[in-house]
Structure 1
Amino acid sequence: MLSAVAAHHMKLNVPVSDFDPYAEEVLRDPWPYYQELREKGPAVWLERYSVLAFFRHEQVHAILSDPYTYCSSAGVGLTNFRTETPWRKPSIILEADPPEHGRTRKVVARILSPAWINKLRPTFEREAEKLVDKVLNKGTFDAATDFCEAYPLKVFADAVGLPAEGRENLLPYGDMVFNGFGPINERFKERMGTSGQAVQWIAEVCRRESLTKDGLGADLYAAADAGELTHEEAGMLVRTLLSAGLDTTVFTLCNAMLCFAKHPDQWETLRENPSMARQAIEEVLRYEPTFHSFYRTTTKQVEIAGITVPESQKVVVFIASANRDAQRWEDPDRFDIRRRASGNLAFGTGIHGCAGQMMARLEGDILLSALARKMHSIELVGTPIHHFNNTVRGYTSIPVKTTPNK
């Protein structure tokens, strides 16, 4: 007799794979696996997790662009909130469907609007200059901790309005949140076991009285005063900003530093024209995106790429794989900052596209252009150490040596 799961995928009529996206060897170097899985067809059944997986740009884009058919409210991780009890409260923005989603998203989009964010630019630029000078004086430093972590932990946490003390709790907290989008595996359990202090600190600093009066957090509470949110929701959205806005930016900066250390010709191009920093960040996001996968759940039977998918089926989209799909990008495994990389899916797309993506791009743009103006070369002087997480990819250490511009 066929098991129910085996019968299910046969009915779907798609290739089957025992691919485990959470295995260390995959997290270390996922690209060959993605290539193989894209070649299998538009969808693959991952029998280990009983999910239908999409690796090609066309389908990933289509699924993320249709929140009515592929909903987020059943969880954007592996756990199906309709059939399993989640270990955490659903996110009131990331895991809400329209029309409910629009209410919270509107408030967040306003406080992360270009007008608001542009007010932060002078401060962000000043801090970038200070940090670049500091690491250049050192000559040899750890790009992950001394640079890529240090910058968002200063400028973004200041912008939200957090106290200066205790910010070391932000990264373990984000790590726990992103691990939670995957399976309840050893990696998740281990991080949960060590996150007590971080969770406690976050709960404390998201309260109105802990925040400065002029930051993004205070703006969320002001929206609650105006009746757009409840005060409890304001606190939850401050927490969302902190989990969504830090690790991702830190790892994007890590990936940028590593890309340029490994491709000195591309650094030379940027150094000759620092105004290309924004375009360079887009190519980093395409070539080495921080996010690798997200889940959705079908709200009805739907046909995609000739496959009939039943209602209530968990599907997983591999954003990183879509970003290197040869059907969408020419020579996708080449890092080239002259490429027009807009249209990459690093921040998702559609109504659930990352609300803070303008902030992340601003930080990347400012920091890279400051570097390009002052730094002649970036050279690896040791082996980078991977940070393993169920959803995001980054590094805990990137030892580099730099020389200033003559």
Structure 2
Amino acid sequence: MTTTTEPTGVPIVDADPFDPETLLDPYPLHERLREAGPVAFLPKYQHYAYARYEQVQAALADWETYSSAAGVGLQDPRDPGYFRTPGLLLEHDPPDHTKFRKVFAPVLAAPAVRKLRTESAATAAQLVDSVVRKGSVDIVRDLAQVFPLQVLPDAVGLPVPGREHLISFGELVFNGFGPQNDLFTRALERSGPARDWVAACMRRENLSDTGMGATIYASADAGVITHDEAGTLVRNFLSAGIDTTVSAISGALYLLATNPDQWARLRADPSLARAAFEEAVRLVSPVQQFVRSSTREVEVDGAVIPPGSRFLIFHSAANRDPRQWAEPDRFDIGRRPAGHVGFGTGIHACLGQVIARLEGELILSALVERVERIELTGQSRWHLNNSVRSLASLPVHLHPAAQEPGEHHAG
């Protein structure tokens, strides 16, 4: 069990990062934390805070000092009565983490990803064709949420009916990384059907024989992991791979819609689709913050912080740190945002980031080929969640691109 003592020589920032107003607009607090110093202290939760890029990147890369084993949220999932068991990847350190991570080597190997790209490109084209035909759409509801619910579940081998439960399930998981506030309580109250559906789908008999889920269970057949662990890994993969991708795609669409010069730039050079998505991940940072627990005494800017201290690691604040990025709040698809921590870094970096990047690039490529202009037709609305920053609604009208004679989009 980890504890945090009152700090000596550490700036105190009396603020609540999980206050609803802050969740809707976290950037003023992030700036306060960065300007307070390399480390700050949040008395409401008795956690230290890293918000500058240098400290965030270093902490995420150093699992031996900043452990995930006591959970990556405010509560320790090992505590009796907690609503879930610890994740086998996100909340385990080596050697267990190494064993579980290796199970995904064939799942995410280059041949599997190439196959997924081919299959998903057709899906993206068909989906974008359908929303372009409608013209006026909510691009979050009709595109950003739909595509991830097709790609990853198809790849894992889930049944089609009931996939909408993955949104509610992820909502609970990511709210659970914060305090037990109203957001968490409401998500828990609504989650019964979603939890039952996911519990059924993680069982081998409900997965296809050829998907990523079957590959994970093959590791259990080989004795690398147990069959119970295989089911849990399927669940962990699903719980982390939908909401964050919806956030990244919806964030990219929002940034392109509100920065028409960057959309025109992408239209002029569609090869920038991957770079545009990467820059959007930097700016939006789907997971705003995670927690780590120190295993030893650490010294930061002259302050000595004892072992067993808890740290809130602000990915989003690091990704907008002016010490690391020129004009950090500007969306620039020509920027090279290499090193951003939107997907984390180190051994606990997002396992499914290769799939998220694939999905983002495919959607933007399909859109830029078919859409000349994205016109905002209503007010965008951000979704409240303790950990994931994501849009709830983005009403737009998609103006179709003129087709060359003889050109026809599949759909």
- Please tell me the TM-score bracket, short chain as reference: over 0.9
Aligned pair 1:279/2:275, yes or no? yes
Name the structure 1 match of 2:35. 39
Post-superposition shift, 1:306? 3.0
Task: Please list the CA deviations of residues 234-266 of structure 1 after superposition, one character each: whole Å capped at 9, or x if unmatched.
Answer: 100110111011011011111011001110000
Q: 2:104 aligns to what SS in structure 1? A: helix
Amino acid paired to 1:52: Y
* Aligned counterpart in structure 2 of residue 30 of structure 1, from 21, 26, 40: 26
* Aligned counterpart in structure 2 of residue 50 of structure 1, from 35, 46, 50: 46
Q: What does 1:96-245 align with in structure 2 at a 5 Å threshold?
A: 96-245=92-241
The answer to whether the Cα contact below 8 Å between 1:59 and 1:305 also exists between their aligned partners in 2 is: no
Aligned pair 1:88/2:71, yes or no? no
Amino acid paired to 2:370: K
Name the structure 2 match of 1:8. 6
Which segments of 5 or more consecutive residues in structure 2 lack a partner in the other structure?
403-411
Name the structure 1 match of 2:409. none
Aligned pair 1:248/2:244, yes or no? yes
Q: Distance in 1 between matches of 2:303 and 2:280?
A: 33
Using the size of structure 2 for normalisation, the TM-score is 0.95
The answer to whether the Cα contact below 8 Å between 2:39 and 2:300 also exists between their aligned partners in 1 is: no
Task: Please list the CA deviations of residues 34-89 of structure 1 after superposition, one character each: whole Å capped at 9, or x if unmatched.
Answer: 11221111111100000000100000001001000110001111114577764321
Amino acid paired to 1:262: T
Q: Distance in 1 between matches of 2:259 and 2:343?
A: 24
4+ residue runs of structure 1 moved beyond 4 angstroms?
81-85
Q: Distance in 1 between matches of 2:325 and 2:110?
A: 29
The answer to whether the Cα contact below 8 Å between 1:278 and 1:365 also exists between their aligned partners in 2 is: yes
Q: Distance in 2 between matches of 1:135 and 1:128?
A: 11
CA spacing shift, 1:367–1:83, aligned 2, 3 Å: closer
Task: Please list the CA deviations of residues 176-222 of structure 1 after superposition, one character each: whole Å capped at 9, or x if unmatched.
Answer: 00000011111101110010000001000111010111111111001
Amino acid paired to 2:98: G
Amino acid paired to 1:93: L
Amino acid paired to 1:33: L
Aligned pair 1:395/2:375, yes or no? no
Post-superposition shift, 1:154? 1.1
Q: 2:145 aligns to what SS in structure 1? A: helix
Q: Distance in 2 between matches of 1:211 and 1:137?
A: 34
Q: 1:386 aligns to what SS in structure 2? A: strand
**Count of paired positions:** 400
The answer to whether the Cα contact below 8 Å between 1:160 and 1:215 also exists between their aligned partners in 2 is: yes
Q: 1:214 aligns to what SS in structure 2? A: coil
The answer to whether the Cα contact below 8 Å between 2:49 and 2:311 also exists between their aligned partners in 1 is: yes
Name the structure 1 match of 2:256. 260
Q: Distance in 2 between matches of 1:108 and 1:122?
A: 20
CA spacing shift, 1:305–1:348, aligned 2, 3 Å: farther
Aligned pair 1:329/2:316, yes or no? no
Q: Distance in 2 between matches of 1:19 and 1:237?
A: 36
Q: Distance in 1 between matches of 2:380 and 2:392?
A: 8
Task: Please list the CA deviations of residues 263-307 of structure 1 after superposition, one character each: whole Å capped at 9, or x if unmatched.
Answer: 000001111111111111110011111110000001111223432
* Aligned counterpart in structure 2 of residue 299 of structure 1, from 295, 298, 301: 295
Task: Please list the CA deviations of residues 1-47 of structure 1 after superposition, one character each: whole Å capped at 9, or x if unmatched.
Answer: xxx98x722x2x11111211111111111112211221111111100
Amino acid paired to 1:74: A
Post-superposition shift, 1:94? 0.6
Name the structure 2 match of 1:315. 311
Q: Distance in 2 between matches of 1:306 and 1:292?
A: 27
The answer to whether the Cα contact below 8 Å between 1:64 and 1:349 also exists between their aligned partners in 2 is: yes
Identity rate, percent? 46
Post-superposition shift, 1:117? 1.1
Name the structure 2 match of 1:66. 62
Name the structure 2 match of 1:344. 340
The answer to whether the Cα contact below 8 Å between 1:282 and 1:341 also exists between their aligned partners in 2 is: yes
Q: 2:291 aligns to what SS in structure 1? A: strand
Q: Distance in 1 between matches of 2:192 and 2:138?
A: 27
CA spacing shift, 1:118–1:305, aligned 2, 3 Å: farther
The answer to whether the Cα contact below 8 Å between 2:106 and 2:215 also exists between their aligned partners in 1 is: no
Q: Distance in 2 between matches of 1:309 and 1:83?
A: 24
CA spacing shift, 1:388–1:286, aligned 2, 3 Å: same
Using the size of structure 1 for normalisation, the TM-score is 0.96
